[in-house]
Structure 1
């Protein structure tokens, strides 16, 4: 969720970094003014400052699930870049003649893709960029993307290790029967013992054959 509000209140808790006098530029060409940037455990808030036209700056609140990328940018100017999967629309953007969507020169650009907006937060001191980036890392880590949480057991829950390659039938027998857990465990131990004995017998047979051949 992305919230733009004319009112501002300081985040009450979970502040990872608070930095005053941070300039916010949208899509590289729309200057929203200077305000305080709050990177918290729950969201990212920019507000409580002065807008480009001299009045109060708008308050922009970003929730971590809407932030698809964050990075430090050096060119064309230093700043902390946040890319959000939301098309930000503000009166200031229309007044500055930048309401049109940015042009993407990539041949693979798809007009049906989810709308995106690039926000560049520019601190007064470039040395603060690294701390801003680290605070974003910490906040983002508290809100992992559910799509990245893949259950490794989903594809093949019974083949998580080489032991099931040799004892797959044992596992299936125990699962399909109605025996108790104790009986199943005893049965598995017996089958493993039989398999081991069978292996030893095969090895002895092969050794005898080798002696005869010699």
Structure 2
């Protein structure tokens, strides 16, 4: 966990949303209150001592509002992070064997969740997946006859306590449990 938090500066890129008194949880570990920055280039959280983290949008595979208090005791902006991304230029580093997969951002004022989500959605849209062709339909499954959103079966992810519905080419990225409102499946979807 210590490799995830480092001395950082506030973002230099345009900031679309900023809020003090936002608690960050990494893998359910409370990192205390700090300032959340949703910048056009990345998401940053910095505590009063100047320690924090930067997350590039390409590392965020899912962001959603979570209001399910049975899986986590606070309403929050939930982020699922691709733990394969390791780029020290972004300030996003992980220690060997220490995967960071979930971040929860809890504002003091819960009415801010929707505006946090919308700002993140707008900024993430600025960073489309470079692997997708501009002319390709991201929902095109080739010769398969399945419709987007059609459930072929689900599997429980014990780490986060939600059911993953296999509807995206069998990779299990789509979720359908009602745990998250307004889920956005990142730039690669």
Same fold (TM over 0.5): yes
Superposition pairs of residues 54-73 of structure 1, within 5 angstroms:
56=49, 58-73=51-66
* Structure 1 residues 116 and 47, CA gap change in structure 2 (3 angstroms): closer
In 2: Cα distance, 1:31 partner to 1:39 partner: 20
Please say which structure displays the higher CA radius of gyration.
1
* Structure 1 residues 152 and 144, CA gap change in structure 2 (3 angstroms): closer
Q: Is the 8 A contact 2:8 2:50 kept in 1?
A: no
The corresponding residue for 1:23 is: 23
* Structure 1 residues 71 and 32, CA gap change in structure 2 (3 angstroms): same
State the shift of 1:149 in Å: 3.1
The corresponding residue for 1:48 is: 47
Superposition pairs of residues 132-211 of structure 1, within 5 angstroms:
132-149=116-133, 151-152=135-136
In 1: Cα distance, 2:25 partner to 2:53 partner: 12
Query: Normalising to structure 2: TM-score of the pair?
Result: 0.57
Specify every segment of 5 or more residues in structure 1 that has no aligned partner in the other structure, as ranges. Answer: 50-55, 91-99, 102-114, 154-214
Q: Is the 8 A contact 1:32 1:57 kept in 2?
A: no
- 4+ aligned runs moved over 4 Å, structure 1: 87-90
With a CA cutoff of 8 Å and minimum separation of 6, indicate the structure with the bigger relative contact order.
Answer: 2
In 2: Cα distance, 1:31 partner to 1:128 partner: 19
Q: Comparing both structures, which one devotes a greater share of its residues to strand?
A: 2
The corresponding residue for 2:7 is: 7
State the shift of 1:44 in Å: 0.5
> How many residues in Structure 1 have an aligned counterpart in Structure 2?
122
Query: Normalising to structure 1: TM-score of the pair?
Result: 0.51
State the shift of 1:124 in Å: 0.3
In 2: Cα distance, 1:83 partner to 1:142 partner: 18
CA RMSD of aligned residues (A): 2.6
In 2: Cα distance, 1:61 partner to 1:15 partner: 13
In 1: Cα distance, 2:58 partner to 2:6 partner: 23
Q: Is the 8 A contact 1:34 1:57 kept in 2?
A: no
* Structure 1 residues 79 and 152, CA gap change in structure 2 (3 angstroms): closer
SS state at 1:81 partner? strand
SS state at 1:148 partner? coil
Superposition pairs of residues 87-126 of structure 1, within 5 angstroms:
117-126=101-110
- State whether structure 2 residue 81 is matched by structure 1 residue 84: yes
* Structure 1 residues 145 and 124, CA gap change in structure 2 (3 angstroms): same
In 2: Cα distance, 1:68 partner to 1:6 partner: 22
Q: Comparing both structures, which one devotes a greater share of its residues to helix?
A: 1
In 2: Cα distance, 1:134 partner to 1:148 partner: 23
